[in-house]
Amino acid sequence: MISRHQRILFWVLVACIIAMASLLFWERERARDRISALADATPIDAPYTNTESITLDLANDADGSVTAATRAIALPDEATARARALLEHLVAEYALPDSPHPLQSGAAVDDVFLLPLPIVGHAIDTSAKPNPGGTTSTVPVASTDPAALQPQTPGGELAVINLRSSFVNAHPSGVEVESLTLLSLIGTLHANLPQIEQIRFLVDGQPRETLAGHADLLRTYPSRDTTVQATVPDAP
């Protein structure tokens, strides 16, 4: 004969088991909802987080060489943002410890502007009659320089790289080190943005004679493959 106290204890234990099972089921449902919320695929950032293989032309001060190296990085699709991101990645490589071409870390490129070639400006149209409102008529004019600012192929572009003065002022001084920086920038753009045919440099929006006292920043550079190996003269 089971005593009354034992029956009461049995049914209390059964009730506890049912309550515990209900609690566990409820907690499991909550956890599943939380994980589902974390896995939400709704886009938040701009859709350029997919990495791609790009080529960086890396300089080496020891032997004066520029060699191509591939990296997998995420880049935006828009051309000017892409060019700027490429150059920032390149300069960031040089800021790493033991870099063969050490440069100061930090942002180097303020903007990159891509202009379709040929460059066309505007001049006052001397043959037009004065406008009633006092405004002046203008006509588009092409550059008078036959060698520069002309596209080699249709769709060719001029890239204007606006460097930050903080980067330029901290750049090491010397013919080799400055030339290698320019070659590296030019070669990286050439390898990844083939529509760029010519490149000019500004510093904080203004033209500057040299990068750090030597390499010419006023001229227009042709976009080209700048990978070079150290040259050793042939024996006579």
Partner 1 sequence: MLAVATLPCLAQTAPPAVAPVPSLAASPAIPFNRGVILLDPAHGGVDSGSRISDSILEKDVTLNLAFKLRSLLSARGFSVVMTRDSDAATQPGSPNPLTLDDRAGIANHAHAVACLLLHATAAGNGVHLYSSELEATPGEPPANPWLTAQAAWVTQSQRLQKQLGLAFTRSSIPLVMSRASVRPVDSLTCPALVLELAPNGSDNSTLNDSAYQQRVAEAIAAALVFWKNQAQPPANLTPDQIPTAPSAPSTGAKP
Site for partner 1, rule CB under 8 A = 61-64, 145-148, 172-177, 179, 182, 209-210, 212-216, 218-219, 221, 228, 230-236
The CB-of-58 to partner 1 minimum distance in angstroms stands at 15
Which is nearer to partner 1, 179 or 184 (by Cβ)?
179
Q: What DSSP line would sit under 124-158, residue for residue? A: E-TTSPPPTTS---EEEEE-S-SSSS--SSTT-EE
For partner 1, the closer CB: 19 or 175? 175
Q: Is the peptide bond before 130 cis (omega within 30 degrees of 0)?
A: no
Residue number with CB closer to partner 1 (85 or 177)? 177
CA angle 49, 162, 157 (to 5 degrees): 75
| Least Å from the CB of residue 108 to partner 1 | 18
Between the alpha carbon of residue 98 and those of residues 20, 103, 125, 219, the distances in Å are 61, 11, 58, 32
Which CB sits closer to partner 1, 80 or 143?
143
Determine phi and psi for 74, rounding to 5 degrees: -90, 130
Q: Cβ of residue 120: shortest distance to partner 1, in angstroms?
A: 18
Closer residue to partner 1, CB minimum distance, 78 or 145: 145
For residue 99, which of 184, 202, 211 has the smallest C-alpha distance? 184
Task: Please report which helix (H) or strand (E) contains residue 169, including its range.
Answer: helix 165-169
- How many Cα atoms sit within 13 Å of 48 on the Cβ side? 11
Number of Cβ atoms within 10 Å of the Cβ of 183:
22
Per-position b or e across 98-108, b if 16+ CB within 10 A of its CB: eebbebeeeeb
| Minimum gap (Å) between residue 101 Cβ and partner 1 | 9
CB of 183 to partner 1, least distance (A): 9
Considering the complex, what minimum distance in angstroms separates the CB of residue 219 from partner 1?
6
Amino acid at 174: G
Nearer to partner 1, 159 or 182 (CB): 182
